[in-house]
Structure formats: C-alpha cells, structure tokens
Chain A
Amino acid sequence: MEHWFLNIAHALTGWLVSLGLSPGWADFILLIVQWVCIIGIVTLNVIVLIWMERKVAGFIQQRLGPNRLGPFGIFQTIADAIKLMTKEDIIPSQTDKWIFMTAPMFFVVVAVMLYVVIPMGDGMQLVDLNVGLFYFISVGSLSTIAIFMAGWGSNNKWSLLGAMRAVAQMISYEIPLAFSLLGVVMIAGSLRLSDIVAAQGNIWFIILQPIAFITYFIAATAELNRGPFDMPEAEQELTAGAYTEYTGMRWALFFLAEYTNLVAVSALMATVFLGGWQGPWLPSWLWIIVKTYLVMQVFFYLKWTFPRIRMDHLMSFSWKFLIPVSLANIVLTGVGIEIFRWMGWW
C-alpha cells in the first residue's frame, strides 16, 4: 500500500520508455499526468470539503445539513456544481472585463501552484525545491492580487472595499506567517520541505514550536480569508465583498480556489508542525490526508462559532500582537538552539 502511487508512476515511465521515448520526455509526460491528477484531486476534494463543511456547520448549529441527494447528502455539492456551471455568466457592463474575467482563473491557478512543493507521502512530491517553504509563502501571497483584481475589476464599491481590506489584511498577516515558520526553519536548518519532514522523525515541531504553531494558525486563517477573519467577503457588511458581482462558475471558481488554498495551507501545517507524512501503521499518503483533514476541522469549527473581527482590530492584532510574538519566538528559538549546542545536546 505504501508505494502504490510511486509504483504506478514508475510503471508509467517504464512503459513510456519502452515505447521508445527518451527518459527526459517520459519524465515530462509524467509531470503533466501528475498535474492533471492534482487538479482532479483538488476539484473532487473541494466537493467533499464543501459537503463536510456544511455537515460540520449543521452539527454546530443543531441541524442536519445536506441530507437529500445520495447517502448523507454527499451528492448535494455535485448538484450545486452542476447548477453553478449551467448558470448564466453575467459580466456587468461597467466592469473592467479582462481583469474581471481573469481574476477567478488567476486565483485558482495560484492555489493549485501551491501543491507543487507539498510532500504528499514518502517520496511523493512534485518538485522538491530547496526553497520549498519560501516558494509556498510567496506563491500563497499572490492570491492577494487575484482578490484585488476581482474587487477592482468589478467596479463596485463594496467589491473595492472588500478588495482593499483583503490587501491590507493579507499583507499584514504575511509577516507573522513567515516569521512563525522561521523558527521551524532554524531548527530544521533547511527550507526544503522534505528536510523539514525528516527533521520531525523524533519529535513534531508542534511540541518544539507551540507558539509558532499558534501564530501560524491564526495568520493562516487570516491569509485564507476564513472566519473570523473573512473581511474580504464579510457578507453581513460587504454583501459579498470582492465577489459581489460574480455569478455562476466564475463565482464558484473563487470558492474552488479558497478551498484549494485551505487544503494546501492545512497540508503545509501538517507537514511543518505535525510530522508530515510520518506516522505508524498507515501508509504515508494516508497520514498526510488524515492530518490535513484534522487541521481543516479546526478551521471549520472556528468559522462556525466565531463572530467576525473588526478591520482595525484585525490590523492592530497583527501588528501589535502577532508580529512581536512571532519575533520573540524567533529570538527564543535562536537562544534555545545555542543553549542546546552549548550543552552538547544537539
């Protein structure tokens, strides 16, 4: 079970080479196949995730959630997806059409790009970049531009407000996000995600870096625009913020991208703080799925119980609390490492 996917990949390259392709071309085709698989998995996963979130919300709110289509209403999201795909795509006449139309696609592309570096199992990583973590953070911050494009292109005041909030919020939370990961990087001594996973062979970084874990979790919630930090949407104040003017599939693409981002960030959290794919008994790819879903549950619970924070509170929380705390965490980690070295425990 452990090597199912690797074996399939090896078989595929072996077959391609046996057809007379050079190994370089075979690898290239394999890469494309992997990409298609990731996009497929991401899309299907979103369907499950939306269903799951609605079930969790139902559980928290003492109701049933979707329960009509299929067992436990699992096909509800598929029906919704079909509805969204067949809906009329309205592009308001006053919009900046190109920006308006490309924003959702850009958002999805950025979200899918995150998966490149995530180790989805032992040896199951598309590209093992030596700056993997750095890549993740920088690509992740590109989604700001997508939301801003949506808000600006919509030519709607609510959208613009939502977009401005999104930019302010995501840029501010980028900093504690990166800072909180630095502690981990200092201990692991590498930005390569496979190294970080390997460094957690004995002990998970959530135990060594609890403060970093909490600051990362909060900053990530803000980065994902999820409740209680869902400023850019803020449906009770900004109707739907940056997404107000979108309809049908374009609107659905935003949700696809948001959930894709959510999975990616949760997977990164599992990788960086919860030991990645390592774990007993189960195969490695199953472990990362289990951990990712557990992290996502916490995101769900937070969203459905908390009220939305106010914009200025949000900003001051980042600049006056999260950033100092994560900075202090870096200092603390550095001092700790030095002490360990000095004592000879390292």
Chain B
Amino acid sequence: MDRRQFTRAAAGLGAAAALSPFGIVRAQAQKLKVGVILPRSGYLGFIGQSCQKGADLAPGVIKEMLGVDIELMNADFESNVDTARTRAERLIQEGANVLVGPFDSGAAAAIAQVAEQRGVPFVINIAAAPQITEQGYKYVFRNFQTAIDIVRNGLDLIGDLFRATNTVPRTAVYMHVNDTFGQAMTKGIGAMLPARTQLPFKIVDTISYDPAAKDLTVEVSKAKASNADFLLLVCRLNDAIILRREMVKQRWNPMGIVSPGSPGMYEEQYFKTLGKLSEYSISNVPWYNPRAKLTQIVEKAFKKQNPKDNLVFHGLNAGFTFEAILIAADAFKRARSADPKVLADAIRQTNITEKMMLGGPIKFNAKGQVEGIGSACVQNLNLLPTVVLPASAATAKPVFPAPYYKKA
C-alpha cells in the first residue's frame, strides 16, 4: 500500500469513526450511565420520590459490592405519559446506557417503545400490567411481579395466614379501587379464588370505588351491612386511610383488613395519619427479605442518606428501584462495556442470587420477565410494617383476628 492510499484509508476510517453513532471508539467504558425516570411531581409524586431514595443510595452500595462506577441521570416525567416519552428520548440522547423506572404502567409502555426503538435496555422497577412483557420486546426487562403473580402469591399467603393463626373465616367482603391496578387484581381473584378450595372463605359482596373519591361512607356502609368476617381490600394509600377512618366512624370491626396485594397500608403516610388505627392491617406484597445480607447493607446506606427516615416505609419502592440498578450494574460488570446492545445481551444472562427482595434468583425468561419473585405477608405491628410470613423471613408472628374484632 503506498502513502496516498494509506492517507486516504486513514481519512476514511477517521470519517467513519466520526460519523459512527458512538463517535470515537473507546476501549473500555469506565462508567455506567443509568437514566432513572420517575414521577417526582404530579399525582404520583410521593411514590416517585420514594423510589428515588432507592436510586440515590445505589451508586455507593454498588461500588462497594461490585466495584463498578455508576452515574445516575435523574429525570422526572411528572406523572405524564407524553413527558415520559420525551424524557426517555432525552436521556438516551444525553448518553444513558440503560433506563430504569418508571413505577406507572402507562409510562412504562411509552418508555418501552422508545427503548425498543433505540436499542437501549430498559429495566422496569415497578409496573404490574402484564401486557408490558407480552409485546415481544427485546430490550425491556421487568424485575417485578405481574398483577397475576401478585394475586396468586397474595391468595396463597392468605391461606398461610389462616393456617398459622388457626382461624377459619367463612366470609369476606371484597372492596377494590376501580383503577388499572384494582381491575387487574379483581380479574385475577375472580379467576383464581374458586380454584383454591383450601381457602375457607367465600366473597359475599364486591364493592368497587373511585380512586379519587374523598368520601367512602356509602361503600363502607355496604361493606358493614354484608356482615362479612373480614375485609379483603385492594386499595391505594389515600383511600386506604379514608376507609380505615370510615370504619371507625361506622363502628365496623371485622376480623381484619387483608390485602392480597396492593399499596397503601404499609406506607408511611398510613401510619403517620392513623396512628394506632393502622395496627394489624395486612398487606401481601412483594417485599424485601429483612434477613438478607444485601438488605442490611442497603439499610445502612439508606439510614446514612436519610437519617430521619426508615427503609421499612419505602421497602417496596426503594428496594425494587435499587435492584433494577443493581441488575444494570451487574450486567455492566460482566459485559465490560457500556454499549447498550451488549448490555442488553448481558442482562438477558443475568443470574443474581445475592439479592434483597424476596424470592428466587433474578433471572429473565424469554419475555424479559423475572419469574419467582416472592411476596411476604406484611402486618402493621407497633407502627411498623413487619414481615410475619413466610416464617423463614419473618421477624414477628401474625396477629389474626385483630384484637378490635367484635363479632357482629
């Protein structure tokens, strides 16, 4: 090759490199840029901020655990689907190698499309709509239970609860919030409950209510009139509080309030607002294993960053957000590259056994879904959400029926 040819080739290579999507070819990327999309304002604001706490402590913990450097790029999609899409685009443009978020199913679907289109892996921290991992996406991963899993685990845990406390309630009144989550749970319960003959109770009345309702007098009146043994409840935070108060006002004291899987009763606001009244409510939800090693590490880091707060109130939100970033970091370590395509392949090979949330190892199936994430029976005891089942992870024994129970 003579000099002229060489110069031309070099120029050609240089031009190609400059125009290539990744600019200058790098040897080994030093940092993983994680785009964290959460709703920190708007009606989901308080949940997004809760999740953010899990994200904020991640870089420190992961540096200690895995020795990799993570840079967080935080974006607020303002509880708005349009904004979720543009924020995702923006993060990718600014160099995010992987996206994590968003808590809301609608936003998750929008971001998933962007991620798939741009070939950037998207690890969902929390979103229960089953359809998201049914679209045949190659770049979307979810480390959270689908609504179907949540119901299944929740119902099974209810059976465990009755067995552990030697109670046999015969009737339940089922109240549920009429939003995307409540509807999915209701379908699941309708499908699975009849088959579970080992559960001793029948649902005598179903009452659905508007998530935005500020007054639930009628609903509670109806529930009280059903004379059911206990209340099976799928709710959100604000309505859970209103319901509990209304129950007191109407002097309705069933055996207990049990959620087969919904937010609300284990959240800090519930305790702060209701005080003693929050006691004994039960939520069967994906939760962290209080005895796991990783949990202790995260708890320490959380306390350092939020001295006035307690991880137990953000267990679900912060825990899953942390694990989502952990997944990204673990893939980065194995892949030794921050190239999104390579990362996605590495994520598909994930097998994390040292984890924080209950359940089997973090392994993605062909649809990008982790199977085998566990749920815990979390009861409000001494003004703290406490794991009472499964026994292997429990830190206290379940109390059912609640002491306030008055036979009608």
A binds B: no
B residues contacting A by CB (< 8 A) are: none
Interface residues of A (CB under 8 A from B): none
